[in-house]
Structure 1
């Protein structure tokens, strides 16, 4: 039988001793995503119930519903509405639904859940929300839902809008 000491070579011991401790990230975790126009947005991870890929045939259209709503899906036995987030926020581009899957972010507050269809999912970012501000006021229909903005270091010209999921859920726009 081989002992643990026999598994380590001199070079592997050197590598094991050079391991740096992991640093705890500061701030809060946020999910970055993109609208059909390519505009970058994010939600705090605490406001997200689930992130999923839905095939277009899994989203059941509802006749005479708001044009913002794509239909409903079954999320673990619960029927929830799925809306086009880009259209809700006044994005000029149209969400492509003729593709194999559509990314959907389910946001939740006080047991109210809404699925938001987007163009694509991006990275996760640790942010200190207290250090963020609004540097470039967003377009008129998106403005009420933007909490702050930031520019990721790795993508200098990209401006990400941090959205408030609770304000989106409670918006009067769903009644139109």
Structure 2
């Protein structure tokens, strides 16, 4: 009888920048490897802001002749952008995610490579984390830290509504 495995490969990234004594800096974002087209670095000034869009949508950027929506998932709550001064020369690391609907770029603070994780170990996201990871559907324990599994379909639905 074949052994059934529930391990899946994910790209792990830090969404929230490291800061002292901040619980969010210890959390990680997990993105299914098959949903990542590539990782690119762009300057903030290369993102064209679009007025009237939902919080977290920074605008669009030209990637090889194709306009890609760029999102900062840390700003979804709508309170991050107003509290910090933006540097137009700042280099942003962007994970380009792909689905049948197209591509979207997500800003990440740091890339942490590929991991294989057992989905059976995951659980529903606790209420305390839902505000910070609105497009994630499961959380997994990584020692003292937590990792959150991104649901790409929820992300694209948000873009269509915003």
Gaps of 5+ in 1: 1-24
State the Cα RMSD in Å: 3.0
Q: Is the 8 A contact 2:122 2:141 kept in 1?
A: no
Q: Which of these residues, 91, 102, 105, is aligned with residue 101 of structure 1?
A: 91
What secondary structure is seen at the aligned counterpart in 2 of 1:124? strand
Q: How big is the shift at 1:147? A: 2.5
Shift of 1:61: 2.4
CA spacing shift, 1:93–1:144, aligned 2, 3 Å: closer
Q: Which has the higher strand share?
A: 2
Show CA shifts across 1:121-176 (max 9, x none): 22321112233223744434356532222233xxx21111111111111127852x
Separation in structure 1 between the aligned mates of residue 29 and residue 61 of structure 2, nearest angstrom: 23
Counterpart check, 1:73 vs 2:61: yes
1:44 matched residue in structure 2: 32
Q: TM-score, normalised by structure 2?
A: 0.73
Contact 1:69 1:82 in 2 (8 A): yes
CA deviation profile, 1:71-117 (whole Å, cap 9, x unmatched): 211122211111111112x3865588536411111212113211111
1:162 maps to: 149
Structure 2's unaligned 5+ residue stretches are: 17-23
Q: Could you say which structure has the larger radius of gyration?
A: 1
SS in 2 for 1:139: helix
Higher relative CO (Cα under 8 Å, sequence separation at least 6) belongs to: 2
